[in-house]
Structure 1
Amino acid sequence: MYETVVVLSGGMDSAVLLADCVAKGQNCVAISFDYGSKHNASELPMAKAMCDHLGVPHTLVPLPFINELFDSSLLQSGDAVPDGAYDAENMKSTVVPFRNGIMLSIAAGYAESVGARQVVLASHAGDHVIYPDCRPEFNEALGKAIHLGTDGQVAIAFPFARMDKREIGDLGRTLGVDFAATWTCYKGGSAHCGTCGACDERKYALRFDEGLDPTTYLV
């Protein structure tokens, strides 16, 4: 039986969240989703490797219908991922409709099935502008729905909701997270592009300008 289900993408935020939960002594299981994003092939093996390193069981859930039915430049079926700042207007094309609502619902059902009392997600304050399913009002409403839908058995929590990505990076550094073994770039590929909004935000978070970012970028 587990205490916490960690939604783990293979990105830096969820990697720090998993490491933090483990450091706090929580009995965790991680769940990842293959929904057809351009970067799933780059990040999901890293999610599995993180779990192997920390001794945390890992479950991968395929969601092919998202890539087949939904419209987003983040998906393999979508247009090219734009370059630009993370909060730029054109980055809204990377929104995957109701992605977190779908994934958190699945994670909640899984948590109830394995006896876990909570699901945690690493969405943070920097996500709020672009992604409606990362905003506090959404989190609160979905939390109430999951509480009711599981008869009070499962809660969802967003431990980084008031933190920005740099604060998460700093926390991860204190926890010994190997950020070179995490993935952020929305374009996928063998190396981070260095020009998309996600890479731009990663550089800020990991203090690239201070020489602390271990990531290899194409630009």
Structure 2
Amino acid sequence: MKDSVIILSGGMDSVTMLYEFEERIALAVSFDYGSNHNAREIPFAHQHCMDLGIRHIVIPLEFMSKYFKSSLLEGPEAIPEGHYEDENMKSTVVPFRNGIMLSIAVGIAESAGLKHVMMANHGGDHTIYPDCREEFVNSFSEAARTGTYVGVTLLSPYTNLTKADIARKGKELGVDYSKTWSCYKGGVVHCGRCGTCVERREALAEAGIEDPTEYQD
């Protein structure tokens, strides 16, 4: 039954979720909020939706790059390098990004008569992204349910999985990870050194997947 909207970035996690739950996804929504890597991610999101026959829309959120503070919005030179657990990675937080995107997706879901919004947050996000943690997910889902006539709820089945767990799912599903984007610097190829590149490399290696990604290094 097609009952869900998915927030689809074009990265490994949301693309994996798209394939795992394709039978229930009626619409995929990507948001262009002016980050360094939106232009690299979104075409992959669109390509996978085309392959699966799922409707895909892109919603511009230019105001975020104008008024929000984050290294993701300040150009590739502002992106720190290292592991997600390093203190400097907090600069990549876009304040309440998921809350804003989820609010829009909930409105779209209710307008379309759909019952759920899906997001692909995972356990590795918890360290620095407060709007990826389980308490946020549960609270937002309850707010969406009580704030809509149709009782829209948030589905986030990867909340407590690692990125390697997700990659294993993708391996079973036959997801082509060469057609996904992770790097926060948003260059021609992945930098290989920013937090999300490091996490991508580790997850693919742990899942036993030969890394198809082209890195600068």
Q: Is contact 1:34-1:61 (8 Å) kept?
A: yes
| Matched residue type, 1:83 | E
Alpha carbons of structure 1 residues 209 and 50: separation in structure 2 relative to 1, 3 Å: closer
**Cα distance in structure 2, aligned partners of 1:208 and 1:190:** 26
Matched with 2:13 is 13
Matched with 2:94 is 96
Q: Is contact 2:49-2:56 (8 Å) kept?
A: yes
Alpha carbons of structure 1 residues 106 and 152: separation in structure 2 relative to 1, 3 Å: same
| Matched residue type, 1:75 | L
Q: Is contact 1:68-1:77 (8 Å) kept?
A: no
1:96-145 deviation line (CA, Å, top 9, x unaligned) = 00000000000000000111110010000110111010111111111111
**Cα distance in structure 2, aligned partners of 1:168 and 1:66:** 29
Stretches (4+) displaced over 3 A: 76-79, 208-211
Match of 2:41 among 43, 47, 50: 43
Q: Name the count of aligned residue pairs.
A: 217
TM-score by length of 1: 0.95
Matched with 2:189 is 191
Q: CA RMSD in A?
A: 1.7
TM-score by length of 2: 0.96
| Matched residue type, 1:146 | A
Q: Is contact 2:4-2:115 (8 Å) kept?
A: yes
Match of 1:74 among 59, 62, 72: 72
Aligned 1:158-169 pairs, distance under 5 A: 158-169=156-167
Alpha carbons of structure 1 residues 35 and 13: separation in structure 2 relative to 1, 3 Å: same
Matched with 2:168 is 170
| Matched residue type, 1:141 | S
Matched with 1:55 is 53
- Residue 200 (structure 1) shift: 0.1
Alpha carbons of structure 1 residues 185 and 94: separation in structure 2 relative to 1, 3 Å: same
**Cα distance in structure 2, aligned partners of 1:210 and 1:30:** 29
Structure 1: gaps (5+ residues): none
| Matched residue type, 2:38 | N
- Residue 78 (structure 1) shift: 8.6
| Matched residue type, 1:188 | G
Q: Is contact 1:72-1:78 (8 Å) kept?
A: no
Matched with 1:213 is 211
| Matched residue type, 1:179 | Y
| Matched residue type, 1:30 | A
SS in 2 for 1:206: helix
Structure 2: gaps (5+ residues): none
- Residue 156 (structure 1) shift: 0.5
Alpha carbons of structure 1 residues 211 and 29: separation in structure 2 relative to 1, 3 Å: closer
Matched with 2:109 is 111
Matched with 1:125 is 123
SS in 2 for 1:207: helix
Q: Is contact 1:21-1:28 (8 Å) kept?
A: no
